[in-house]
Amino acid sequence: MTAKPKIVVGLGTCGIAAGGREVYKAIEKALTDNSIDAELTQTGCIGACENEVLVDIVKPGQPRISYGKVTEEKIGEVITNHLLNDKIDREFALGKIGEGELPAEYDDLPNFFVDLPFYEKQVRLCLRNCGFINPEVIDEYVERDGYEALKKVITEMKPEEVVDVVKKSGLRGRGGGGFSTGLKWEFTMKAVGDKKYVVCNADEGDPGAFMDRSILEGDPHSVMEGMAIAGYAVGADEGYVYCRAEYPLAVKRLKLAIEQAKEKNLLGENIMGTDFSFDLKVKEGAGAFVCGEETALLMSIEGKRGMPRPRPPFPANEGLFAKPTCLNNVETFANVPVVILDGPDKFASIGTEGSKGTKVFALTGSINRTGLAEVPMGITLKEVVFDVAGGIIDDGKFKAVQAGGPSGGCIPEDLLHLPIDYDSLTGAGAMMGSGGLVVMGEDTCMVDIARYFLTFTQSESCGKCTPCREGTKRMLEILQRIVAGEGEPEDIEKLKTLGEAIKDTALCGLGQTAPNPVLTTLRYFQDEYEKHIFDKRCVAGICVDLMVYLIDAELCNGCGRCRKACPVGAVSGEKKELHTIDTETCIKCGVCVEKCKQEAISLQS
Amino acid sequence: MTKLNVTINGLPVEAEAGMTILEAAELAGIDIPTFCHDPQLVGAGACRICIVEVENARNLPASCVTPIWDGMVINTESDRAVQARKANLSLLLANHPLDCLTCEKSGACSLQDYCYKYGVSETDYVGEGKDYAVEDSNPFYERDMNKCILCGKCARVCHEINGAGAIDYAFRGFTSTISPAFGEPVENSPCVFCGMCTDICPVGALTPKLSKGKGRVWEINKVKTICPYCGTGCAIDLHVKGNEIVGASGNREGLANKGHVCVKGHYGWDFVHSPDRLTKPLIKKDGKFEEASWDEALSLVADKFKAAGAEGLAGLSSARCTNEDNYLFQKLLRMMGSNSVDHCARL
């Protein structure tokens, strides 16, 4: 227990974006102005991104109090009230964490991880330290059993035993593929090579996904420790973290963590005085989505253009610089110390028959609680969308959830009972993917969503194989025509045939899964495609080309603002008389809607 | 070598472990279409035209890069494989100029051949197409990236065989193309104009300039010869139409070069039909060259040798001769009493 009060500011990218740095400065000022002796520190994302900026205050002997949505202006008051007057500001207080006594009037304060609906169903293994430790201070990681798993492994276990433990735990790759981590390690361990590598895939690129970033920003050492354990198990003495350069904070904290770990002999030569040496480097990716594909990633580290190559040979046998390479994703590695310390049985007791442990999801879209949630495998999509994420905003109606990013698929309401595990999601035409969950309400057009994801995959296709390079382009062109009201009856069949051919013949995972958003929306929402094609209607009111601007005769007062603002002279009407829009002339710029004070103009399908 | 038993199109085939499906099929005399495969290059699995159906496999693997396993059951022409192959042909066709009537490659174009084989006469997919300017600023070959199907063989032969690494994939998605760095013309790249890329291109994207308009592939007779430029002894095929050489390419049966060539062997044959070429001996009389008979010329040389004597005689031979020719040349000079022998390659 700290002798003096401690103030912790959430300074992950989400916290910083919400104004965390300004809040931090305001706290510094408040402490100085009021001559308060307190320790001010930072932490990574605790997951409740919608509540950023988050500030936690710990007074000796009291539980940690978490404040959310604090502002630069108000934080000074919150701090002084809490530290000087023992008054907790209920406007900002989210809940209490940990043991300790509070004045009786605060007995009703919710227990942060137990009572808050966002956390109620979460099980935090990977994110165990995120939001608690200062990721830039190695001692805080060490204090929470950091590097104990590595110590146990290199001093008490043989490499084969480590592989067995990981196999027994049932841990599967969290990057999306879901291959058994233990088996992968075993293949690399058994591969013959004078030099072996461990590589961490931190090239998280799915739109809406930020699990890996949050882990690297909030708890870089857990990933590094997992990698070092893998290094010991497979016989590697060198590792690379391939992190996208668009994650500058993650890169910075990772580099700092590596430096600190080396100083403490937790990385480098003869770790903890043993014969085991393991060095770690960070390689920044230059922004190609395809470099998240493992063979392309390895090419990129080698300094070549990141393009997938056929497998076999698999990286376990011929990976980085043609040497046996153990390649896992950030979240997978972050799970490893837990598997070692808690033991494989405890880890395997969480989850389902085929999918063990937890999965971190980035919750985004039209939901009440966006953020990062770690839930046990086997939980249903419904629980995640409605219990954890709090359902659709403004009491809207749920329409679909896109699981697995551009490689995944849209899952409709009647499949929300599906348990979250690798096999169920694949069966529904989606995939676990890396963990992005984009929740969509009734106001989302499924054709437009398919078009969006395909625009992404087409522009990120590496260009090597024909079906991905040419096929996704033609699918995209068809979708663009449909949303523009130029769809033709045979388009649906064309999309299906082409989508299946691309899935069947593309070279890598990017291409093979690129048609998924189109195929799943066709599978579950074909009626929307038909409405676009046959009725030229977009029921969600998204596809502007299928809509017309109309003036409500009841509301229009004939002020003429719209007529004057219209750049193409599509609005006509006498002063103080009802105005009308000539839909043929209208270019749908929407300026009339902005100008109308009566809210009389709207898009109608 | 371990033998593995596979079944291809119902036919039992015994093949060696480590072979790809394509190699095993070749062994059985079964032809699988390929664009990006070449036995001299590292497998790329890029074009996806060689996909086949394998029993119990999730998708259709590319036969050029998929190793066989014992008991593998393969169908190279199943409905599913053929449909997918046709889809990929159709996709390539949708982004390829259909100017076969004037294309230099017509008749030797793999895209044309496979479209013929699978009856793909028009594409199902109409949309945006490539729009590149044809690059012809270098003296040796034209690059028309509108015709490129991005099989990548040109880039791989440049990297893996020549070692120049002048061209590679550039950009992403639909805008992907093969290009020298920064989109510069090839003459500003490390290209040494060996032209092996033009030999290996399965379509009409890379055309030797000197051969343009000189004849259709079916009018041309390939005549194997040894390149006269240096002592390496590369086997090349001279492309002959009538009695005229209209092109050249590496011959893969050549023991010294296995089909590899350099700029000289590939493009340096136009001197053969040059009007400036000497076909008769010339003797300078009163400051002017005059045609002479061989007897006349050789007698003159012999007289001059005699007049010069061994001390006044020196010989300079050429790198275009073989080692054996050079050996005989020095022997001749020494027999004539002179030790003054040299060779241009020493300069």
Residue B323 is predicted with a pLDDT of: 85
Where is the domain boundary, B29, B60, B77? B77
Where is the domain boundary, B54, B77, B100? B77
pLDDT digits (tens, 9 = 90+) for A288-310: 999 999 999 999 999 999 999 99
Q: Tokens in use for A598?
A: 């009566």
Domain architecture of chain A: domains with CATH = 6-115 (3.40.30.10), 138-348 (3.40.50.11540), 358-441 (3.10.20.600), 446-535 (1.20.1440.230), 547-604 (3.30.70.20)
Q: Residue A2 pLDDT more than 60?
A: no
Q: What is the mean pLDDT of residues A510-539?
A: 95
State the CATH number of the domain containing residue B69.
3.10.20.740
Say whether both B236 and B265 belong to one domain: yes
Q: Residue A414 pLDDT more than 70?
A: yes
Nearest CB partner across the interface for A473, out of B62, B87, B127: B127
Q: Which amino acid is it at A147?
A: Y
Where is the domain boundary, B41, B62, B77? B77
Enumerate residues 502 to 531 of chain A having a beta carbon within 8 A of any beta carbon in chain B. 503-507, 512
Q: Residue A1 pLDDT more than 60?
A: no
Q: Residue B347's pLDDT band (boundaries 50, 70, 90)?
A: low
Q: What is the mean pLDDT of residues A44-60?
A: 94
pLDDT digits (tens, 9 = 90+) for A88-125: 999 999 999 998 889 999 999 999 999 999 999 999 99
Q: Give the domain extent around B53.
A: 3-77
Nearest CB partner across the interface for A477, out of B59, B87, B127: B127
Whole-number Cα distances in Å, A566 to A175, A582, B175, B265, B280: 50, 11, 37, 69, 86
pLDDT digits (tens, 9 = 90+) for B48-59: 999 999 999 999
Say whether both B21 and B56 belong to one domain: yes
pLDDT digits (tens, 9 = 90+) for A313-351: 999 999 999 999 999 999 999 999 999 999 999 999 999
Residue A604 is predicted with a pLDDT of: 84
- B248 falls within a domain: yes
Residue A176 is predicted with a pLDDT of: 82
- B203 falls within a domain: no
Q: Which residues contact B331 (CB under 8 A, 6 or more apart)?
A: none
Residues B338 and B308: their CA atoms lie apart, in Å, by 11
Of A388, A405, A399, A414, residue with least CA distance to A366: A399
State the CATH number of the domain containing residue B252.
2.20.25.90
Q: Residue B314 pLDDT more than 80?
A: yes
Chain B residues close to A460, C-beta within 8 Å:
172-173
Q: What is the pTM of this model?
A: 0.91
Dihedral (Cα; B32, B34, B39, B43), 10-degree rounding = -110
- B315 falls within a domain: yes
Q: Worst-scoring range by mean pLDDT, A562-571, B8-17, B33-42, B337-346?
A: B337-346
Q: Structurally, how many domains does chain B consist of?
A: 3
pLDDT digits (tens, 9 = 90+) for A195-230: 999 999 999 999 889 999 999 999 999 999 999 999
Phi, psi of A42 (to 5 degrees): -125, 165
DSSP string covering A383-405: IIIIIIS-SBGGGPPEEEEEESG
DSSP state of B158: I
DSSP state of A504: H
Say whether both B13 and B58 belong to one domain: yes
- B151 falls within a domain: no
Buried b (16+ CB within 10 A) or exposed e, A180-206: bbbebbbbbbebebeebbbbbbbbbbb
Q: Residue B23's pLDDT band (boundaries 50, 70, 90)?
A: very high
Q: Which residues contact B16 (CB under 8 A, 6 or more apart)?
A: B1, B2, B3, B4
- B112 falls within a domain: no
Whether residue A60 has a cis bond before it, omega within 30° of 0: no
Compare all CA atoms of chain B with the CA of A502 and give the residue at the minimum distance.
B84
Residues A473 and A464: their CA atoms lie apart, in Å, by 14
Q: Residue A285 pLDDT more than 50?
A: yes
Say whether both B273 and B295 belong to one domain: no
Please provide the average confidence, as pLDDT, over all residues in chain B: 95
Say whether both B259 and B320 belong to one domain: no
Q: State how beta strands A93-97 and A64-67 pair.
A: antiparallel
Say whether both B7 and B72 belong to one domain: yes
Q: Residue A281 pLDDT more than 60?
A: yes
Q: Is A581 left (phi over 0), alpha (psi -120 to 50) or beta?
A: beta
Chain B residues with CB within 8 Å of chain A CB: 43-49, 51, 59-60, 62, 65-67, 80, 83-84, 87-88, 91-92, 94-95, 124-125, 127-128, 149-150, 152, 168-169, 171-177
Give the percent of chain A with pLDDT over 90: 91
Please provide the average confidence, as pLDDT, over all residues in chain A: 95
